[in-house]
């Protein structure tokens, strides 16, 4: 019986040592499944970097064509504040209403609040595109701005299902409404207010 236990112990030790001798010491603990995942994801990560690089070049050429003086945020959004507005900056949870015009980088206007109505959203708490949440926190009531939006802050890989294709950057001109300009979302007839 002792011989069997001894043989099992030797077999286990040989297996452990042979498995460990091929491992590189890096100071980081990485599981083999994590390494496999990184190897599988590498082409996708590189592909995404190439898409972002291409989009950024396309947006820069568009901005240069019009001679705009835009600032790039850390997320990759290009912003030019045309009028600063008055009052405090918007913060998370604030209600924002704005007039807008949306253009493809070809220059074609595709959407407008003149036909679609005022855009309303709650900063950082609604389903609006990321670019509008980000820029809202840079603006005050009455502000006007111009945005050039990368796809990942707009409608992403899927697009908007209408005029903006997947992975397509676009441009918006926005004008934040002041509280005295706001139009009620629903108009209740006088007869029902009593």
Q: What is the CATH number of the domain that holds 76?
A: 3.10.50.40
Chain center to CA of 136: 14
How many whole angstroms separate alpha carbon 160 and alpha carbon 154?
9
What would the mean pLDDT of 38-43 be, rounded to a whole number? 75
Helix (H) or strand (E) holding 4: helix 2-20
Residue 158 resides in a domain:
yes
What would the mean pLDDT of 6-33 be, rounded to a whole number? 57
What would the mean pLDDT of 136-148 be, rounded to a whole number? 97
Please state the domain count of the chain.
1
Residue 29 resides in a domain:
no
**How confident is residue 42, by pLDDT bands cut at 50, 70 and 90?**
confident
Residue 192 resides in a domain:
no
- How does 111-137 read in b/e, with b if 16+ C-beta sit within 10 Å? bebeeeebbebebbeeebbbbbbbbbe
Residue 190 resides in a domain:
no
**How confident is residue 4, by pLDDT bands cut at 50, 70 and 90?**
low
Residue 8 resides in a domain:
no
Sequence-distant (6+) residues with CB within 8 A of 90 are 96, 123, 136, 137, 139, 140, 176
Lowest-confidence pick of 37-41, 47-51, 125-129, 130-134: 37-41
Show the CA angle centred on residue 83, arms to residues 81 and 86, nearest 5°. Answer: 115
Which DSSP category does 153 fall into?
G
- Predicted model pTM: 0.72
Q: Which domain holds residue 117?
A: 52-180
User: Is 70:80 a contact under the CB 8 Å cutoff?
Assistant: yes
Residue 189 resides in a domain:
no
Instruction: Give me the phi and psi of 147, to 5 degrees please.
Output: -125, 140
User: Is 55:151 a contact under the CB 8 Å cutoff?
Assistant: yes
The burial class, CB within 10 Å (0-12 / 13-18 / 19+), for 154 is buried
Residue 118 resides in a domain:
yes
Chain center to CA of 26: 34
Residue 11 resides in a domain:
no
Q: Is pLDDT at 155 greater than 50 in this prediction?
A: yes
pLDDT, averaged across the chain: 84
């Amino acid at each position: 019986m002792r011989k069997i236990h001894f043989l099992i112990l030797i077999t286990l030790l040989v297996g452990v040592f042979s498995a460990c001798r091929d491992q590189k010491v890096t100071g980081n603990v990485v599981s083999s499944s994590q390494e496999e995942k990184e190897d599988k994801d590498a082409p996708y990560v590189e592909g995404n970097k190439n898409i972002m690089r291409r989009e950024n070049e396309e947006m820069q050429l568009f901005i240069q064509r019009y001679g705009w003086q835009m600032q790039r945020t850390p997320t990759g959004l290009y912003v030019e504040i045309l009028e600063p507005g008055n009052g405090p900056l918007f913060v998370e949870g604030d209600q924002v209403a704005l007039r807008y015009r949306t253009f493809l980088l070809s220059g074609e206007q595709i959407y407008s609040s003149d036909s679609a109505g005022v855009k309303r959203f709650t900063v950082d708490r609604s389903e609006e595109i990321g670019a509008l949440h980000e820029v809202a926190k840079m603006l005050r009531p009455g502000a006007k701005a111009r945005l050039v939006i990368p796809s990942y802050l707009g409608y992403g890989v899927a697009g908007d299902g209408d005029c903006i294709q997947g992975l397509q950057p676009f441009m918006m001109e926005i004008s934040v409404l002041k509280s005295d300009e706001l139009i009620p979302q629903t108009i209740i007839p006088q007869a029902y207010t009593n």
